Amino acid sequence: MMESKDNEGGKEKKSSAEVDIQKSDVERLEKKIRDASLPLQVERKALIEIQRLKLISPASTEYGLIHDYIDWLLSLPWAQSCAEEIDVEKLEKVLDKEFFGQKKMKERIYEYFSIRRLKKDIKGSILCFVGPSGTGKTALARSIALALGRKFVSLNVAGISTSQQIKGERLGFSGGSPGAIIKNLREAGCNNPLFLLERINKLGNGVPKGEVISALLEALDPEHNASFIDNYLGLTFDLSTVFFIATAQNIDEIPDALMEIFEIIEFTGFIEEEKLQIARRYLVPTQIKRHGLTEGEVKITDEAIKKIIREYTIEEGLRELQKEIETICRKCARMKASGSGDFWRITEENLSDYIGTPVYIPEIAEKKPEVGVACGLAWTASGGDIMLIEGLRMRGSGQIFSTGQLGGIIRESIQTAHSYVRSKAQLLGISYQDFTNYDIHIHFPSEAIPKDGPSAGMTICLVIASVMSEKPIQNDLAMSGEVSLRGNILPVGGIKEKLSAARRVGIKKIILPKANQRNLPDLPEELISELEFIWVDRMEEVFEKALIGFGKQKKIFEVIKREVEKAGRKKKKRKKS
């Protein structure tokens, strides 16, 4: 491992006191090694290092390095295991008590552990929890460890940029140390803990090197991790009994090589109703107790919690909501400590006295039908929101403008919608000359927020049709859907979040692609019970439901069309005769 420093004939001179200290120290270490029941290869390696210690002065740097190395060998849980009990019923009770909602995710967890219970020696994929921050990924891993009776350790891999941080640095004159995997196993004190790798999508600060991914695969891959070698130890350590779980915020950022060994379980963001229930059942009672208060002293009304969710936080998870509740409890705790009161009721009206003025102004639906204004539904990083899309026509040369910090996909949706409306000019009662005599401006308010994706296509198409035909749009409905060049309505994602946003602002009628009917069974009953759904396949159906006056125009168009077809048939007959 290292070569000894020579001094005067190859050996360092030692005083009698040094010899006695060294002999006592070496004998103590040797006894610990023989009593530790180490694996054979580890014991042999440790005894070889003991023989080297006998030849080196205790005052030398190398003596300390070898001593530390032996201490590491003795402190690792080579054969110490936690007694595991895979009790699916207990796991169900723990998760149902600790986690509200996330039904689909829970079912997937129960299935996974039911299989492990039936076949304990199975070598399967590693679980990877994917979802927004604050949705309970880390908390779930802790609860699983508790339910299984395993120790829990975690490692945030976001800052790991070299393989040495995972596999350790070789022992040399400059020192060295084990990698993060081995260090955490020593902390756990057993060789089969639940090991959580957090933010795996940010490995190497989001741009991982091949060597880093390769090193992590050596530790994680169930086919190879029984012989994991840490560079510092120079020995194999069996990681096959470690229960690894990874977390990520974005599935698209996970390296492909790791995706091959991961079994993805998705965590969805919480809608307002779920946040309210979680705050009422868990967050508020927990923070009240943590701040030395009682539930009889602090009361936060449901309306106050809703206002916090809508006007003080923008998130899919619960972290910001929890921080605001903590702020309220700190204020109350301070007043209690100073004797300023013994009961505090936080309502929608006095909320600003505790956490300041609102940070965000939520979008609100239009109060009356207007030409060129439609309510779209959007999925955002903070959940769902309504998106008012505005349109205006003006004298010009047939150009179309768009503003509102838009991405490339949404700009293409505007072009597609514009072309489709032009192709249906006669059906909509629009003069063909208008498309060359007028410019159209499409605007998305809240310009500071980037917007992209195809799901606004239906709403954009409706707005263009409205401004060019000068027909108002119903203000009591919202919509989401992609539109093809031929006017077909295609399915979109984020339905749960989008419906929650519509319900929040009081819109009950929702236009959605017919293909999205398959999403209904997965949605909370309390969310969909109050809504009226209009399922559509074609853009003409959207015009009929949302464009005021289109029905009358369509009848006129159909009468003219029939008369034209009738005249055409008569003309053909005259030619034949």
Angle ∠(384,386,390) on CA atoms, nearest 5: 145
Q: Which of 154, 455, 466, 500 is catalytic?
A: 455
Per-residue exposure over 537-565, b if at least 16 CB sit within 10 Å of its own CB, e if not = eebebbbebbbeebeebbeebeeeeeeee
- Are the C-beta atoms of 26 and 53 separated by less than 8 Å? yes
Task: Answer yes or no: 455 catalytic.
Answer: yes
- Asked whether 458 and 482 are in contact (CB, 8 A), the reply is yes
Comparing C-alpha atoms, which of 542, 283, 566 is closest to residue 424? Answer: 542
DSSP 488: B
R_g over Cα of the chain: 34
DSSP 128: E
Dist. CA 231–CA 227, nearest whole Å? 13
Catalytic residue among 137, 480, 498, 500: 498
Query: Would you call 97 a catalytic residue per the annotation?
Result: no
Q: How many CA atoms does the CB half-sphere of 314 hold within 13 Å?
A: 12
DSSP 3-state assignment of 171?
coil
SS3 at position 174: coil
Cα torsion through 356, 357, 362, 366, rounded to 10: 150
Closest by alpha carbon to 277, among 305, 257, 304, 299? 305
CA distances from 322 to 153, 326, 327, 396 (A): 24, 6, 9, 52
> Which residues form the catalytic set?
455, 498
